[in-house]
Structure 1
Amino acid sequence: MRYLPLTPSDREAMLATIGAASIDDLFADVPAEARLDGPIAGLPLHASELAVERHMLALARRNTVAGEVPFFLGCGAYRHHVPASVDHLIQRGEFLTAYTPYQPEIAQGTLQMLFEFQSQVARLFGMDVANASMYDGSTACWEAITMARRITRRGKAVLSGGLHPHYVSVARTMAKYTGDVLDTRLPSLAAEPDTDALIAAIDGETSCVVVQYPDILGRIGDLSALAEACRANKTLLIAVVTEPVALGAIRSPGEMGADIVVGEGQALGVGLQFGGPYVGLFACKQQYVRQMPGRLCGETVDAEGKRGFVLTLSTREQHIRREKATSNICTNSGLCALAFSIHMTLLGEKGLRGLAAINHQAACAAADRLATVPGVELVTPAFFNEFTLRLPQEARPVVRTLAERGVLAGVSLGRLYPGEAALERGLVVAVTETTTTGDVEALATALQEVLA
């Protein structure tokens, strides 16, 4: 039986205090089509625990398991092999049950882990300093935009067409409440990102330019010229990395002049998990550290000269006065950050470079094979482990048909950009170390049959 401590009169008093006519008013920003108007369909209102377990298991069996079929989905969430030791270690009681350290001095293990995590992210991104993680890549991207506004005191952000549309959507949602102006654009099915257009969009009101690296189509652009243009205009360059494994093979954004680098750490240590929870990565140049959101763990010594760890910087509203906070993010993805850090530690630099090489080689072989399918054209000649194909017809129905045949072929651009005719034939295919030659051949054969 549910425990409901509030009476109807309690609720009425609370609603009157905040000026809301009903509880439904509190959800006005959620689109009506996304709100339930009754109990969840398909679930019994009353049943035994055993009956509920069987019912939920039957629902779960309707899913297609990523590891049981040829799997080529990507676009910001990637299937990589996670060593069993990662899951074993994160389930140790001191990690699994520990909450965020409000008395940090007594949580030395947690603080040391976060310190090592920060060190790994900073080195991976080629930046001076990283924080102790964010919710996910999309919210980290938005936090970077607001950070750029605080630093430059400008309110316009230029968003590359190669930025993941879900990240753009999050930014649009948040900008409604901050007044930031977002200059957005769509990607084009071209071999190279349109860097010149981004440079041309920079003006005296631009706080930052946001680019994804590699971008939503898998393209790898040289950020150096864009970084130089940003510096000349006192505009910050924000780079978004959704596939951190790529940085084992390509230059880091920091090396090319990015001021802030954010990203999604899911690919290392964290499974697909139906879209979450994930772990946001955030790093910047040293000069901007006091405007960085979240928390920063530091290394120090105690009164006896022994090595120890502390919360060096806490600019979130739980630690300081709300009006001085850089963010209202109230936690960090500590367990997912731990999984990321353990996986990175197991790999080491040599292992990460080796994993990246395996991913790239497998992707090149897959691209070559799929390009032999009649009517299929490879759009991105240079990529890491994700590339875009142009099909001779709309990609969405092709993907659905292939899924019915037990092949998860990739992500159609028509799904990401509904209503955009110029993109509807695009198919983004991701290949990792988990992809076999048999998987590639199954996709190529099924694709050729469906397109015939």
Structure 2
Amino acid sequence: MQRDTASIENNMKYIPLTEEDKRKMFEEMGIISISSLFSDIPEEILLKRKLNLPPALSEKEIVSLIKRTFKENDLTERIFLGGGAYFHFIPSTINYLLERGEIYTSYTPYQPEMSQGLLQAMFEFQSVMSDLTHADITNASMYDGASALAEAILMGERINKKGKVVLPKNLNPQYREVIETYLKPRNIEIIDIGFTEEGRIDIEKLKSILKEEVSSVVVQSPNYFGVIEDLNKLGKIIKDSGALFILSIIEALSLGIIKPPFDFGVDILAMEGQSFGMPLSFGGPYLGILQTKKEYVRQIPGRIVGETVDKNGKRCFVMTLRPREQDIRREKATSNICSNHALKALVALVYLATVGPRGFKKIAEINYKKAHYLAKRFNDEGFKLTFSGPFFNEFAVNLPFDENELREKLSLVDIYGGIPIEGYKNSYLFAVTEMNSLEDIELLMCAILEG
């Protein structure tokens, strides 16, 4: 039987090139080897040895290696860590839907008429997020909460052009690092604002700072210490100064019991969506959510999907705004963000649709009550909370031992918890979610008291 070589070539696209294939390609390009393609690289910086890689394995050997590696993982579910990534329940509906090929393989909708499913998903995501926070505008997602906040600050600078931004010292330190990286080449000055014994922004010092003109003021609430800021008071002070009010929310589940942010006069909201159905996964990939008021829509980075009708009068979806440098003139672009986390945005959408408004509120209430129960247990045993301000599901507590001793005590009962707070000796962050049972909480206390 004669082999259909054309068919084989078309159906075996991922098979490496044969030596004959390479020879033909070299001949066409007028070179003699792959190394000729890198002739512009100086000889002295080329690696003269083979890469330090293990030998190739068969499929069976690879599967065995992966299984052995998995066994090294500690898969405890007694997690009391927070600090920007939270251990929440993930409904099975999420993975079920994401494993569908038409969803899992969706990417950038360069041709809207061919991408109606993805565009609708992004449109529904925008709608749900705007409903949740009372925002006028939500873009079709960003990389994560940190980059979304950095983009929000750049957006504020484009609007007000004062060259200064106020950052609170109770902002997540990892977010601060990202912001500093973004702002350094742009010569935007960062003005720090401290906090009180409550763990909240020092409002009197903020009033003093705002006597000079700044582009925006950033507030994180709940902040890095888990404390809920007085957004009503902060919103009025910032508005009166002429600066933009930028809010960062990292624990998005707090919206289940806290008033919608834009009701406080927020101008730009940067939010992390990890709590909406995403596993911890060693820190990502997560979901950035960026929202603003209608009057600032032309300054928002990323994409916005809109609803319209086609020539037959049928409902359809289009790219309404794409202010990135790939799509318009570079000098007109608002960002070099060239993609979005559409799959993670869909995760958040499915999560919120699954739990529903009442379920979302109920989960938030459970987080609040369990965290406050643990805080009371600490207090009853004589351990003082580091800050006195109100909190949602995370708080800092002073303990009489160092980080290594705390880790050793908790490891005896397979518990992860207690993030050290820089600048505070033996002060640790604990987060409590719906995943932590009362038995877990009592086990935590026993480990601290007796471990």
Shift of 1:371: 2.3
Match in the other structure for 1:441: 442
Choose 1 or 2 for highest CA Rg. Answer: 2
Aligned pairs for 1:392-407 (under 5 A) are 392-395=400-403, 397-403=405-411, 405-407=413-415
- Where 2:396 maps in the other structure, the secondary structure is strand
Superposition map of 1:108-127 within 5 A: 108-127=116-135
Q: 1:365 to 1:23 in 2, by over 3 A?
A: farther
Q: Which amino acid aligns with 1:229?
A: I
Match of 1:269 among 277, 285, 292: 277
Identity %: 38
1:386 aligns with 2:411: no
- 1:210 CA drift (Å): 0.7
Instruction: Provide closer, same or farther for how the CA distance between residues 191 and 232 of structure 1 changes in structure 2, counting only shifts above 3 A.
Output: closer
Find 1:131's aligned residue among 122, 133, 139: 139
Task: State whether structure 2 residue 12 is matched by structure 1 residue 11.
Answer: no
Q: 2-side partners of 1:378 and 1:230: how far apart?
A: 27
Aligned residues: 423
Distance 2:269 2:398 in 1: 30
Q: Cα–Cα, structure 1 residues 353 and 392, in superposed 2: closer, same or farther, change >3 Å?
A: same
Q: What CA distance in whole angstroms lies between the structure 2 residues aligned with 1:186 and 1:280?
A: 26
Q: Secondary structure of 1:270's partner?
A: coil
- 1:59 has 2:69 as partner: yes
**Residue segments in structure 2 that go unaligned for 5+ positions in a row:** 1-14, 27-32
Distance 1:256 1:50, change over 3 A: same
In 1: Cα distance, 2:207 partner to 2:221 partner = 16
What's the TM-score, normalizing by structure 1? 0.87
CA positional deviation for 1:45: 4.0
Contact 2:81/2:418 (CA < 8 Å) preserved in 1?
A: yes
Aligned to 1:33: none
Confirm or deny that 1:50 pairs with 2:77: no
C-alpha offsets along residues 286-332 of structure 1, whole Å, 9 cap, x if unaligned? 10000000000011111222211111000112211222111111111
Shift of 1:165: 0.6
Q: What is the distance in 2 between the residues matched to 1:190 and 1:116?
A: 39
Structure 1 position 359, deviation (Å):
1.4
Q: Which residue of 2 aligns with 1:28?
A: none
Alignment match of 2:165 (pick from 144, 147, 157): 157
- After superposition, residues 66-81 of structure 1 pair within 5 angstroms as 68-81=76-89
Alpha-carbon spacing, 1:203–1:39, altered in 2? closer, same or farther (3 Å): farther
Change (3 A) 1:186 1:23: farther
Query: In the aligned structure 1, how far is the partner of 2:62 from the partner of 2:197?
Result: 47
Amino acid at match of 2:229: G
- Please say if 1:427 is aligned against 2:435: no
Cα pair 2:305 2:317 within 8 Å, conserved: yes
Partner of 2:417: 409
RMSD: 2.6
Of 235, 240, 254, which aligns to 2:243?
A: 235
Amino acid at match of 2:429: V
- The match for 1:340 is 348
Pick one of 90, 105, 108 that aligns with 2:98. 90
Quote the residue 2:337 is aligned against: 329
Alignment of 1:296-307 (within 5 A): 296-307=304-315
Counterparts of 1:215 and 1:183, CA distance in 2: 18
Aligned to 1:34: none
Q: Could you tell which deviates more after superposition, 150-159 or 398-407?
A: 398-407
Match of 2:268 among 257, 260, 263: 260
Is 1:249–2:250 an aligned residue pair? no
Give the direction of change, closer, same or farther, for the CA distance of 1:401–1:53 in structure 2 (3 Å limit): farther
TM-score of the two chains, using structure 2 as the length reference: 0.87
| Superposed displacement of residue 48, structure 1 | 3.6
